[in-house]
Amino acid sequence: MAESEPTAPSRLLERLEQGPVICAEGYLFELERRGYLQAGAFVPEVVLEHPELVAQLHHEFVHAGSDVVEAFTYYAHREKMRLVGKEHLLEQLNRQALTIAKEVAAETGALFAGDICNTNVFVADDASRRAVREMFDEQVGWAVEAGVDFVIGETFSWGEEALIALESITTTGLPAVVTLAIHQEPETREGWTPEEACKRLADAGADVVGLNCIRGPKTMLPLLAAIRARVDCHLAALPVPYRTNDEQPSFQSLRDPGYEDLPDGRPFPTALDPFTCNRHELGDFARDAHTIGVSYLGVCCGAGPHHIRAVAEALGRTPPASRYTADMSKHAFLGTDKRLNTENREYADKL
């Protein structure tokens, strides 16, 4: 990819000039569901243990319409690796995740993104400011060496931690997409409104700012309008595909009256199934968000390829997976095709 180096930093912005960019996220949840990653610590050891599965999921998301292959380095930072006793694998895991993503991006023509995220170390004192900057710098350094088109900094509930991540990225000259995680209260942990935090990020040089994770479509959308009114740069929205609501605005705050024996006392993270949005709801969200000026769209924890395809189609795209988009006209009982068995079609109301 050396020959593309001079133009590589602008590939994301070029794509955004042409129209919305779709970025599938949610690798942790999907690989946990498939049985290759442990809920709790949520460390992507699967990158080293089953690299072929990570590549496969990248391919599935691109097939479904993702314009971005995001290296699976979410929670592959020093603090998490230390927590699971595998700090010695930190660099190897990061480099491997970047190699996997780079190969899929090269094969498919998708954008290749590095990824850094919330450290869970930041507490707004000088020691933690230094510690998180070092953690970001080492991961961003590996991403630069791998030749990423841009770097995503995501899921920051502290606005200041997001700003430190941004500085780590912009120092390299690469474009930065920085998204905040807004929990039950519509503010960052230091009390900034989402629009205030996004304005600070935009002013500090982020190319794309916005929100990811934590909130579902219904409780993320209202925050986006306020951000749009405050910032001029590209805006990102990657909700979780769960039916959060005004009383329970985050996916951690959802409670399930239909099942009382949850091992963790709440549906998050392993029993969120009954709250899963259908693909049409994600399509609606993508359309609504794009209408108010969001140009970088995706889905976070809980996303499946069917959600990504719905986002792509809502934006007028026909990704390869659209070949298999539902066509009920030939359904044996519910279809309209004249060649279908009439008796079955007449039985449709009794299904």
CB 80 within 8 A of CB 39: no
Contacting Zn ion within 46-75 (CB under 5 A) = none
| # chain residues binding Zn ion, by CB under 5 A | 3
* Cβ 151 to Zn ion shortest distance, Å: 17
Report the residue number, 277 or 301, with the smaller CB distance to Zn ion: 301
* Cβ 137 to Zn ion shortest distance, Å: 23
Sequence-distant (≥ 6) Cβ neighbours of residue 67 within 8 angstroms: 15, 21, 22, 23, 110, 111
Distance CA 135, CA 190 (A): 21
Distance CA 304, CA 299 (A): 9
Sequence-distant (≥ 6) Cβ neighbours of residue 145 within 8 angstroms: none
State the residue for tokens 């405050």.
Answer: 230
- Contact range with Zn ion by CB under 5 A, out of 245-253, 285-293, 301-309, 331-339: 301-309
- Contact range with Zn ion by CB under 5 A, out of 69-77, 86-94, 112-120, 299-307: 299-307
CB 165 within 8 A of CB 198: no
Assess 213 for contact with Zn ion (CB under 5 A).
yes
- Contact range with Zn ion by CB under 5 A, out of 8-16, 208-216, 259-267, 280-288: 208-216
Q: What angle do CA 304, 308, 309 make, to 5 degrees?
A: 115
Report the residue number, 213 or 223, with the smaller CB distance to Zn ion: 213
Assess 300 for contact with Zn ion (CB under 5 A).
yes
* Cβ 308 to Zn ion shortest distance, Å: 14
Report the residue number, 29 or 150, with the smaller CB distance to Zn ion: 29
* Cβ 101 to Zn ion shortest distance, Å: 17
CB 118 within 8 A of CB 161: yes
Report the residue number, 23 or 213, with the smaller CB distance to Zn ion: 213
Report the residue number, 157 or 170, with the smaller CB distance to Zn ion: 157
Distance CA 307, CA 65 (A): 10
- How buried is residue 285: exposed, middle or buried, by Cβ count under 10 Å (0-12/13-18/19+)? buried
Q: Which of 286, 301, 310, 314 binds Zn ion (CB under 5 A)?
A: 301
- Contact range with Zn ion by CB under 5 A, out of 139-147, 210-218, 228-236, 269-277: 210-218
Assess 236 for contact with Zn ion (CB under 5 A).
no
CA distances to 40, 116, 137, 138, 336 from 89, rounded to whole Å, are 19, 17, 17, 13, 57
Distance CA 83, CA 173 (A): 31
* Cβ 300 to Zn ion shortest distance, Å: 3
Report the residue number, 27 or 142, with the smaller CB distance to Zn ion: 27
CB 155 within 8 A of CB 213: yes
Report the residue number, 202 or 301, with the smaller CB distance to Zn ion: 301
Report the residue number, 169 or 301, with the smaller CB distance to Zn ion: 301
Give the Cβ contact number of residue 100 at 10 Å.
22
Distance CA 214, CA 189 (A): 14
* Cβ 90 to Zn ion shortest distance, Å: 21
Contacting Zn ion within 15-44 (CB under 5 A) = none
Distance CA 303, CA 298 (A): 9
- Contact range with Zn ion by CB under 5 A, out of 66-74, 158-166, 245-253, 293-301: 293-301
Report the residue number, 8 or 214, with the smaller CB distance to Zn ion: 214
Assess 165 for contact with Zn ion (CB under 5 A).
no
Assess 152 for contact with Zn ion (CB under 5 A).
no
Distance CA 133, CA 23 (A): 25
- Contact range with Zn ion by CB under 5 A, out of 99-107, 167-175, 296-304, 315-323: 296-304
User: Which two structure tokens, joined as six digits, stand for 174?
Assistant: 């690469």
**Interface residues with Zn ion (CB under 5 A)?**
213, 300-301
